[in-house]
Amino acid sequence: MRLLDSHCHPEYALKAGRLAAWVAECRSAGVEGVVAIGTDLKDWSDYRALAAQQPDFFRHTVGLHPCHVEEGWEETVAAISPYFADHTPPAALGEIGLDYFRLPSEVAEAERIKGWQQAAFRRQLALAYQFACPVVIHSRHAFDDCLRLIDASGVDWRKVVFHCFVEGPEQVRQVNQRGGRASFTGIITYAKSEEIRQALKAQGLARLMLETDAPYLAPQSVRGKENTPVYLPEICTQAAALLGLPPDEVAEVATRNAREFFGF
């Protein structure tokens, strides 16, 4: 089984000084590449360096994660464009989107943060339209607003992936009908995630991408531990069981989809 982790955050391995061992462990587990997903200015240059130094294994993205949007976000978003002029440009813009899950209880403050998130999302979608690049979407408790803003942006939906999809089958159909796709994590192995499993089945194999979102969301067998792309085969095996297909077939299609989407 050969796999590609379409969404992870290897900063934790970099900070621990064990990147070489981490890559070797991934390769030993059959993971032949990963997409290092940017979330803020602090990790963009590190991930660009990974992609430049190990282009056979890494691709990288740049984007301002909605949970990092705060007053003065405009300066960070303005720093995105030069990365696309670099000799190792990002494979996508992301992860960007909306996250209403941890908004403060005070209504006025919550609305202010939502306003910042939506404005930052619009600005970054405009950049994605300008660069005609793929987009990695983070959506949590904000699905309808994400759809609305992507629709309004003019971005090519065929270049849109909703990462770590946590909605149900009706929502994934709305994404698919527009031409987009969903990517699934180890959450599909959790007992209380039946709606998400049904969403994976509703999307089917043709558009499927798989990810770990490491170091977060370890699959059920190691839940609560630090996640790593080494566990991607467990996620693939669960996806195959849901689709009633051989794991090797699911791995082949999901990996091909990720390679085409991110330009490996």
**pLDDT per residue as tens digits for the range 146-185:** 999 999 999 999 999 999 999 999 999 999 999 999 999 9
pLDDT recorded at residue 135: 99
CATH of the domain at 135: 3.20.20.140
- Domain count for the chain, please give it: 1
Query: If you ran DSSP here, which 8-state letter would residue 222 be given?
Result: G
Give the residues across from 60 on adjacent strands: 36
The two counts, helices (H) then strands (E), for the chain are 11, 8
Residue 251's CB: how many other CB atoms inside 10 A? 22
pLDDT recorded at residue 186: 98
pLDDT recorded at residue 169: 99
Sheet containing strand 3-8, strands side by side? 3-8, 31-36, 58-62, 92-99, 135-140, 160-162, 181-184, 209-210
pLDDT tens digit sequence for 85-137: 999 999 999 999 999 998 999 999 999 999 999 999 999 999 999 999 999 99
% of the chain with per-residue pLDDT over 70: 100
Query: If you ran DSSP here, which 8-state letter would residue 196 be given?
Result: H
Q: Please give the radius of gyration of the chain, using alpha carbons only, rounded to the nearest integer.
A: 17
In the chain, the N- to C-terminal Cα span, in Å, equals 18
pLDDT tens digit sequence for 216-226: 999 999 999 99
SS3 110: helix
pLDDT tens digit sequence for 249-260: 999 999 999 999
**Domain range holding 14?**
3-262
Q: How far is residue 165's CA from residue 77's CA, in Å, rounded to a whole number?
A: 25
pLDDT recorded at residue 154: 98
Residue 107's CB: how many other CB atoms inside 10 A? 9
pLDDT recorded at residue 3: 98
